[in-house]
């Protein structure tokens, strides 16, 4: 029941009509899809990864190098991944015979009982909402079949350890980690503004790039089965304590990590879950470094990247992209068929997880030219970008230090000898606001700085000063908002503000590094205020 290969269960925009999975792949191949109205934000990266992996596997098994443009061809390709199931059980949401697999649902072995109800798709999803705050639990009472599709993909391809018997996926570094997505997508511009990638263009690019990288992936991860490896892990029997070994799997395998089955209850779908005595894939010692085409891997520690409670801010992305300590995933590199002059969006996404908790869905799009994308893949280009990025980090620290000192002085009533830890603590909200502005400026200025190297030292210096000018403007704006919010006795207010202004404008390190910023001081600083 609810056969993804033949029934229109998935809704796309702008048409708003439902299509089958082969119909969806056809629309994506034609770049006719603008979005998925029922898809929740945290599910989007995993849904994209699932579609790309399944499509690449289907094309590989059929020995095809181009994406079909019609629905029947895609249906045939997907059935080619499940040739032993004439009734399409692995593509059906509900299969009453539990000795057979259903979509992302392994067969249930004798003696195993699934006893935990999951009445709604959000109760099945990977989000941990134990305190029932922010996102409420099990609220999708009027769910459609496609809601269960997205929840299954999210759970089975993205969840981590969640208590005894609830093991996580192999494509993450430990049970409290997360599955990251770091990849390039074709940029789309509208009146010179870069907008989010079109799902179809991104899908097509990643499928073709994955096919082009097949040999290099097998070379980098030789433990995988080169041919005829298990691709859709829900097809294989899952006996108690049974585990799959890496050498049994195709490098693009689509995994499942939990025992779950969907059931039909009247006119609704519901689900039941169970536990297992071991992780489905025996890969704990690999620390998530299992060839995920979207996951950065640390070169020395051989582990996949974990976002934890961070954001994809300039510090995190600079570390991943430029430090040389992380190997970029194959889909974060330009593919052989991508021409020079193309524009990209670097997509960074992950659901940050902690110990039995989720810490927020993190997502960022970073526009870049093909020149920058190519530079990130070469040692010389990466070193140059890293040097420039570190310079910008140090420059941000200079402005942060100046803001911190000026506001701490204000918090101490303008009396420098009284400034202490508590006064510095009062500056943290303003410093955080400045850092967010710096983050929004960081990469655009970094790209300009990198490109300016070809024009000579004067051009590089001009870009350095452009970044400093933007930071200085942001520092002054943040300071002007934060200063009035710092309490001060009314009779000392004028003195406090004047001294804080003079501390900011008189910062010795800023004046040493950026003297051109201080050619003209504002009236409130230059006035001879006797205090």
Secondary structure of 204-250 in the HEC alphabet?
HHHHHHHHHCHHHHHHHCCCCCCCCCEEEHHHCCCCCCCCECHHHEE
> At 213, is the pLDDT very low, low, confident or very high (cuts 50, 70, 90)?
very high
pLDDT at 133 over 60: no
Q: Using an 8 Å Cβ cutoff, are 11 and 147 in contact?
A: no
3-state helix, strand, coil in the chain (%, to 5): 45, 15, 40
pLDDT at 18 over 80: yes
The structure tokens 């009027």 sit at 142
pLDDT at 230 over 90: yes
Q: What are the residue ranges of helices labelled H in 412-456?
A: 421-425, 428-452
Mean pLDDT of the chain: 92
Strands (E) across 39-171 are located at: 116-118
Within 8 A by CB and 6+ apart from 508, the residues are none
Between 5 and 190, residue with greater pLDDT: 5
The residues spanned by each domain of the chain are: 10-375, 379-526
- In residues, how long is the chain? 531
> At 531, is the pLDDT very low, low, confident or very high (cuts 50, 70, 90)?
very low
Q: What pLDDT is attached to residue 40?
A: 96
Containing H/E element for 385? helix 379-411
Q: What pLDDT is attached to residue 467?
A: 98
Q: What pLDDT is attached to residue 237?
A: 95
Q: How far apart are CA 16 and CA 35, in angstroms?
A: 10
**What's the pTM?**
0.93
Virtual torsion, Cα 336, 337, 342, 345, nearest 10 deg? -70
Among the ranges given (92-96, 151-155, 214-218, 526-530), the one the predictor scored with the smallest mean pLDDT: 526-530
Task: Write out the two tokens for 468.
Answer: 């400093």
Q: Which of 93, 85, 87, 81 is nearest to 20 (CA)?
A: 93
Question: In Å, what is the CA distance from 83 to each residue of 80, 90, 236, 239, 309?
Answer: 5, 10, 13, 22, 43
The structure tokens 């970029």 sit at 328
Question: In Å, what is the CA distance from 127 to each residue of 117, 217, 275, 290, 443?
Answer: 16, 31, 17, 24, 31
Average pLDDT of the residues in 345-373: 88
Q: Which of 248, 245, 251, 180 is nearest to 219 (CA)?
A: 251
Q: How far apart are CA 398 and CA 472, in angstroms?
A: 10
Task: Write out the two tokens for 308.
Answer: 């934890």
Within 8 A by CB and 6+ apart from 243, the residues are 278, 279, 280, 281, 282
Q: How far apart are CA 477 and CA 474, in angstroms?
A: 5
Q: How far apart are CA 30 and CA 34, in angstroms?
A: 11
Q: Is 219 left (phi over 0), alpha (psi -120 to 50) or beta?
A: alpha
Cis peptide before 14 (omega within 30 of 0): yes
Task: Write out the two tokens for 501.
Answer: 């202004």
Average pLDDT of the residues in 421-427: 96
Task: Write out the two tokens for 523.
Answer: 């009236």
Q: What is the pLDDT of residues 236-274, one digit of tens each?
A: 999 998 999 999 999 999 999 999 999 998 889 999 999
Q: What pLDDT is attached to residue 395?
A: 98
Among the ranges given (57-61, 79-83, 133-137), the one the predictor scored with the smallest mean pLDDT: 133-137
Q: What pLDDT is attached to residue 193?
A: 67
Per-residue burial over 64-78, b = 16 or more CB atoms within 10 Å of its CB, e = otherwise: eeebbeebebbbebb
Q: What is the pLDDT of residues 498-524, one digit of tens each?
A: 999 999 999 999 999 999 999 876 665
Q: Using an 8 Å Cβ cutoff, are 237 and 354 in contact?
A: no
> At 108, is the pLDDT very low, low, confident or very high (cuts 50, 70, 90)?
very high
Q: What pLDDT is attached to residue 372?
A: 97
Q: What is the pLDDT of residues 290-305, one digit of tens each?
A: 999 999 999 999 999 9
Q: What pLDDT is attached to residue 127?
A: 72
């Amino acid at each position: 029941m609810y056969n993804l290969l033949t029934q229109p269960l998935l809704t796309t925009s702008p048409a708003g009509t439902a299509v089958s999975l082969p119909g969806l792949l056809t629309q994506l191949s034609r770049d006719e899809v603008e979005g998925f109205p029922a898809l929740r934000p945290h599910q989007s990266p995993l849904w994209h990864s699932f579609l790309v992996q399944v499509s690449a596997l289907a094309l590989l098994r059929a020995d095809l190098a181009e994406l079909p443009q019609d629905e029947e061809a895609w249906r045939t390709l997907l059935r080619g991944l499940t040739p032993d199931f004439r009734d399409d059980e692995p593509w059906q949401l509900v299969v009453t015979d539990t000795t057979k697999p259903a979509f992302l649902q392994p067969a249930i072995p004798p003696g195993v009982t699934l006893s935990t109800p999951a009445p709604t798709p959000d109760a099945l999803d990977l989000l941990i909402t134990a305190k029932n705050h922010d996102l409420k639990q099990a609220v999708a009472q009027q769910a459609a079949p496609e809601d269960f599709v997205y929840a299954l993909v999210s759970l089975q391809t993205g969840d981590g350890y969640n208590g005894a018997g609830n093991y996580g996926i192999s494509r993450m570094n430990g049970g409290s980690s997360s599955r990251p997505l770091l990849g390039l997508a074709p940029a789309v511009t509208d009146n010179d503004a870069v907008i989010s990638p079109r799902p179809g263009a991104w899908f097509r690019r990643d499928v073709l790039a994955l096919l082009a990288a097949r040999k290099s992936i097998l070379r980098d991860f030789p433990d995988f089965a080169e041919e005829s490896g298990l691709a859709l892990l829900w097809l294989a029997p899952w006996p108690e304590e049974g585990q799959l070994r890496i050498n049994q799997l195709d490098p693009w395998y689509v995994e499942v990590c939990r025992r779950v089955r969907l059931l039909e209850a009247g006119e609704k779908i519901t689900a039941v879950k169970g536990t297992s005595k071991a992780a489905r894939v025996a890969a704990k010692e690999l620390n998530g470094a299992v060839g995920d085409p979207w996951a950065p891997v640390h070169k020395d520690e051989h582990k996949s990247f974990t976002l934890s409670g961070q954001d994809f801010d300039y510090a995190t992305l600079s570390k991943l992209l430029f430090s040389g300590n992380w190997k970029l995933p194959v889909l974060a590199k330009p593919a052989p068929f991508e021409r020079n002059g193309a524009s990209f969006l670097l997509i960074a996404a992950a659901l940050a997880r902690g110990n039995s908790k989720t810490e927020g869905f993190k997502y960022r799009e970073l526009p870049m030219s093909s020149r920058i994308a190519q530079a990130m893949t070469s040692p010389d280009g990466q070193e140059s970008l890293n040097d420039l990025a570190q310079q910008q980090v140090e420059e941000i620290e200079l402005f942060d230090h100046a803001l911190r000192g000026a506001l701490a002085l204000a918090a101490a009533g303008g009396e420098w000898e009284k400034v202490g830890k508590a006064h510095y603590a009062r500056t943290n909200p303003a410093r955080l606001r400045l850092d967010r502005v710096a983050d929004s400026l960081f990469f655009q200025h970094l790209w300009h700085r990198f490109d300016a190297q070809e024009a000579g030292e004067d051009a590089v210096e001009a870009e350095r000063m452009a970044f400093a000018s933007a930071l200085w403007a942001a520092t002054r704006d943040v300071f002007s908002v934060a200063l009035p919010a710092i309490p001060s006795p009314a009779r000392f207010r004028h003195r406090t503000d004047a001294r804080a202004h003079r501390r900011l404008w008189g910062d010795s390190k800023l004046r040493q590094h950026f003297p051109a910023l201080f050619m003209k001081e504002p009236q409130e600083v230059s006035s001879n205020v006797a205090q």
